[in-house]
Amino acid sequence: MDRSRWGRIQNLFHEAASLPPAEQQAFLESACGEDQSLVADVIALLHEDACAASLLDQPLAEVAHKVLAQDSHWPPFHELGPYQIRKVLGEGGMGVVYLAERKDLGSLVALKLLRDAWLSPARRERFSAEQRTLAQLNHRSIARLYDADILSDGTPFFVMEYVEGLPLTDYCTQNKCSVERRLQFFRQVCEAVQYAHSNAVIHRDLKPSNILVRSDGTVRLLDFGIAKQIESLDVSTQQTTMTGLRLMTPAYAAPEQIRGQRVGVQSDVYSLGVILYELLCDRLPFDLSNLAPTEAETVLLEHELPDSHAQGLGAQISLGGSADA
């Protein structure tokens, strides 16, 4: 492999790793064009980063040969205390989420482990903050925290309610939900967010993939991985600004998040507005599908919403689906 291609793989890897797992494939396909082998190489790196030792702890040549020449390995264990690992549910920049079963109760849970916790104390601190945040939230539309602990090597993990459902926008599209039904879902989301805000917690990464609709029609708000205690923002804002920028999702992020400025409850409200727009129009306010993250940020910060979008909103509402699903 020549040096320029490896450099390209590295750049794409770092950009993709900062995105939620569900968005990595689409980003890579857009960024790599027709070069499917490049997509495969970066995906191999992402899997290796999730399942093996830190890439930073290995020689570059060894990483290139090992990762790109063979499949990654999972999992390093099959049981954790009373929990038996079933499969990987998802993986991101901070951790890996597994579907697990509590053997004595026979119940399914979502178990999240912080990858390479020993490597980055900042990531370990953020993961621990996530445990504390979730532990104080008790709302019917927020995924519950059942357990939290630390492995013998210092790796923290927590066990959450396993939510089986579809992302909010996917559910509404597949079931051809009426405008009224979409607004009912949105109200449930707003009630959950308002509850979190009343407990001095902001989410900071609200988006449809973090809002699942279950078969009974109830919603669950997921992933407080980058949530922060509101009262502690002024303490660590300078230290975490750039990290927070990479962990949020540009298409749903408020302008102050993209600029790296202080966030607050208004940041969640902005994201809710984007979600509502998408629910009613079946599209985002801005098309970022073919843009790299840096290009997307430029569009969001420097361009106003086209009038045609706003004019089409009324038509979309009046012609919305008639089903009550």
Report the candidate in 104, 105, 103, 115 with the shortest Cα–Cα distance to residue 75: 115
Structure tokens at 311: 């004019």
- The rounded distance, in Å, linking the Cα atoms of 306 and 325 is 31
Report the candidate in 148, 119, 306 with the shortest Cα–Cα distance to residue 224: 148
At position 183, the amino acid (one-letter code) is L
Please say if 205 is a catalytic residue.
Answer: yes
CB of 302 closer than 8 Å to CB of 255: no
CB of 109 closer than 8 Å to CB of 162: yes
- The rounded distance, in Å, linking the Cα atoms of 28 and 251 is 16
Burial class from Cβ neighbours inside 10 Å (0-12, 13-18, 19+) for residue 60 reads exposed
Structure tokens at 126: 């953020």
Report the candidate in 53, 30, 28 with the shortest Cα–Cα distance to residue 42: 28
Query: Which of these is catalytic: 205, 268, 282, 307?
Result: 205
Cα dihedral 158, 159, 163, 166 in deg (nearest 10): 30
Residues contacting residue 31 through CB under 8 Å, at least 6 positions apart: 12, 15, 292
Positions marked catalytic: 205
